[in-house]
Structure 1
Amino acid sequence: MNAPLLSTPRVEPFFFDAEPGTRFSVYHAPNPRVEPRGAILHVHAFAEEMNKSRRMAALQSRAFAAMGYAVLQFDLFGCGDSCGDFHSGRWELWKTDLAIAAGWLLDRTGGGPLHLWGVRLGGLLALDCAARLRPAGIILWQPFTNGRTCINQFLRLRLAAQLQGKAPGTARSTAALRAQLAVHGHIEVGGYEVAIPLVKAIDSCDAANLRLPPCTVHWFANPEPAPARVEANVARLAARWARDGVRVQFHPVAGPHAWNDDVIECPALLDATSEVFGSLP
């Protein structure tokens, strides 16, 4: 990766080279007045959820940095301010992006414990990269644990837009939209065009089938409106991963979902995350 092109005393936006093209990044330097705690690599959410959660990600990154963590935020290929169109995004390419970013971050900090911090689908991507990157910990914010669930929710946005007359089409179900995707090879949802290779890769990713290295998973989520189902899913995955030395800590958080509404904050999520990571050695 190249050295940052721009810098400020605390925050350094820059682009790094990764085939194809470049990726936009923001490095949050750790507070020099406290003991270094390690590094945190942010893995953003999918499509419009990424934009809606940007403020929360920035606020938490600053909080992590103030505690002594070095934090790197970056946009995956085809997302945000990185090069490429969204329809060109591919799951394996995103995993390569994360490996390059993690290497840069560890080189910058001189090693130390690495945490992957995934938001929504970014949580599943972080889990899928864990075997390769071997982090000391994984931070999950309201993660999808099954890729097909994510894609179905994404497609329901198009169904809702059709009902409101904001999108063309007469499909009445996600199955019908998937049939259109199979025929055309791509589909547009809310201004985001996805291609069938990415959809298939996300569909096939299930946290229950992933092998994680020994680490601690801090899982933050608002369990409403179905707390029993959420807690059962956490317990099921925790039992599977425990066989490989993974310890899951579930942190229920009340408050709004910042990735579902118009650029809002969830102070309870910020407070809960900061409390946990402010107490780590």
Structure 2
Amino acid sequence: MAQIITKITTQKRKGRFNIFINNQYAFAVSESTLIRFTLAKGQELSPAEIEQITQADEVAKAYQKTLNYLSYKLRTQKEINQFLNDFELSKSDREEIIDKLCELNLIDDLNYAKSYVRTQMRINKLGPQQISQKLKLQQIDPELITEALLEYPYELQLENGCHLAEKSARKYQKDAFFIRQNKIKVNLLKKGYSGDLINEIIAHLDLQPDEDAEQAALTFQADKLLRRYNRTHPDQVANKLKQALYKKGFSLSQIQTYLDEHLDEQF
């Protein structure tokens, strides 16, 4: 029996049409598919043509949903590939959609990378290495990452690093000076700042040992440890306290001064 379109009706969903063949509902298509194949009442279709039309409509639906997915924020090509994997499309159909979106500049990994760099440097104050690593995880081309990082001037890297270092310095003010500096450096490394830049940041921070602050930090740490050792035999407390405080970065002379001044009062 010949396959003839006997009726075309609109759906409640805007831009969707029902196709009836031989007075029976056959399939639905988008407006773009309807126009592409010039579907009209009285048109005869072969089974192969019907298959071609329905497959083309699946591609059209996937394309429209991808446009909606892109409307919320910038996306990488990797994200679009992953999104399209949820549709029953061939590899060539997925590539066709991506190529079309690239031609329209709706997928632009360089633009995405530049935007990402600007966001991370302004809001999270990440260093270049951390930003680069995150972009690599998004499968952004290394050359594009290098170009995008030009958005992050050295002066701003230094300013952001100093801001983070000052924040860490306040956070670790109850640590020994040596440990405090190391924690600041480790935190900057984790945030993606290079060793050379960290050295410059530390120099700008110009932290200096403060005898009173160091003594206050030692007293704070020692008091915490003494509470932990409250069930320890008094003869063992001094050695345990000395070892623990030394590991925390305090000098032996500072520790001994504390022991001489406080331990006899405790026991």
TM class by smaller structure: under 0.3
Q: TM-score, normalised by structure 2?
A: 0.22
Higher relative contact order (CA 8 A, sep 6+): 1
Determine which structure has more spread, i.e. the larger CA radius of gyration: 2
Q: TM-score, normalised by structure 1?
A: 0.21
Q: Identify the structure with the greater strand proportion.
A: 1
